[in-house]
Structure formats: structure tokens, C-alpha cells
Amino acid sequence: MKAVILAGGHGTRGKPFTDYWPKPMIPINDRPTIDYIVRYLSKSPEIDEIIIICNLDNDGHGNQIKNYFEGKESLLKKKITYIDDKFEGTGGALLRAKDLIKNDDEFLVWFSDNLCALDIGSLVKFYRNNRSIGCIAVTKRRKEESGFVKLDGNGAIHEFKEKPTVELNEPECLAIYILNKRILDYIEKEIKQKPSVNLSFDILQKMPPNEKLFAFDIGDNDWVDIESPIKVERNIDVIRKIIEQMDIN
């Protein structure tokens, strides 16, 4: 199975950092975020090739990603292929990988700002058992970045909770998927009608009833959206725990 890492886009949430570097290059312990993702995917026996979609046009920021991994493939022991992102949305970006994944029944998609040590083998098994067009990793827990208080009936505070982990009423989606290659046909049809296609809202949300989507619960695994260096600083303890769970060199 091929793993497609979406590492393009404008990096709006990461500004001003992303004015100079792509968001996947946000550093964690002197390594860029995408380094942890690539190394984690490389050690998975389910993954035989990694495709990175990033902005390579002229002086595009994606060249920093490509230059970073240059010469490291022998250490990773997995082939890395790069595709130029043309800012056609997350769906349009996937379509650019069509020729590389057309001979596979399914492929994994991992957004480059998602850090999580989920069990890839279990994710693949869950997807195949359900025989669906797609499977999305979700979590029912969230580590909050601010403190909470408990109130009595009169509004008086009687307990403080510092950055608790809360149970969510509805699962939160991680940007990690396994998709059947049929999804590319839906993207191809949609992109003929609009210049930019969002994978979630333009494609997955509009699936016909016969095309089922399933949610894979990551359970007690932690997850962080690495949207900015500030987010790293605020969540460094959780991030270090995730990296330890990844068990990568």
C-alpha cells in the first residue's frame, strides 16, 4: 500500500512561520514534523512507498521538504516520490497522485500536520473488514489547552481542572484516511466543475448511499494537529509522548 502525505497548501494557520518555511517543516526537538511522520510510515510493513505532495513549483516551499529527505531514502528503506501541489484543494492534490496509485486497490492518506502513533496495521485491517470506500481515523478524547472550572448551583467555583482530557459528544476527525482508489473518480468528476476540491466536504460528505464510510477509533492514543510552532510549545508534553509511542530512531 502507498501512503500519500499531503504537505502542500498555503499554511494559513502557521503564519508568520509559513511565510518562510512550509508547515510540515515546523520543528519538534530539532526535527521537522514531517520527519516523524515519514519515519513512522517507513517502519510500517503495510506501506511500500511514500508519496509526498508539496509545492515544488519554482521556489515553492515544498523544495525544502524534498531537500531535507535527499539522501535519506537508504536509511528509511522506503521509496519517496514527490508530486507538485497546484493548490487545487486536498481532493485535487490527491488526484495528482492518480498515476502512482492506480494499480493499488487502496491507499493511505496522512495530512502532514497530524502527529499520532495510531496502529496502522489495525487501521488497514478495520478498513478491509468493512469493505468500504473509505475509513477515517477519529478520536473521542481531546486534551484541552486551557483550564476548566466546576461551578455549584449559585455559580461559585469549587474546583479547577488544569488542561483536562475531555470526552467529546461527537468524535473528532483526524486527517488520516484509508481510501479505495474509486474515490479518485469522484474527485475527477468534481474538479471539472470547480477549481478547488476539498476532500471532506466536496467528496466524502457527498458519497452516494452505496459508498459507505467508516470511522476508526484511535482509542487511548494521543493526537496533535501541528498547526504552528506555538501549538508545539503548548503541547510539548503530549507531543513527546506521541514520539515515544512512535518508537522511531
Model confidence pLDDT, tens digit, residues 75-110? 788 999 999 998 899 999 999 999 999 899 999 999
Give the separation between CA 114 and CA 103, rounded to whole angstroms.
27
- pLDDT, one tens digit per residue, over 138-147 is 999 777 666 7
- Average pLDDT on 229-237 reads 91
Determine the pLDDT at residue 77.
Answer: 83
At which residue does the C-alpha cell 508530486 appear? 83
Q: Which of 180, 3, 201, 173 is nearest to 91 (CA)?
A: 201
Residue recorded with cell 457527498? 206
Chain CA centroid to CA 241, Å: 18
> pLDDT of 133-175, one tens digit each?
999 999 997 776 667 778 877 777 878 777 767 677 888 999 9
Decide which of 59 and 194 is more confident: 194
Q: Is the pTM of this model over 0.95?
A: no
Rama region for 88: left / alpha / beta (φ>0; ψ in -120 to 50; rest): alpha
Name the pLDDT band for 11 (thresholds 50, 70, 90).
low
Catalogue all structural domains in the chain, each as residue range(s) with its CATH number.
2-246 (3.90.550.10)
Specify whether the CB–CB gap between 120 and 177 falls below 8 A. Answer: no
Give the pLDDT confidence score for residue 124 in this predicted structure: 97
Interval 186-195 mean pLDDT? 94
Nearest to 51 by CA among 41, 60, 43, 36: 41
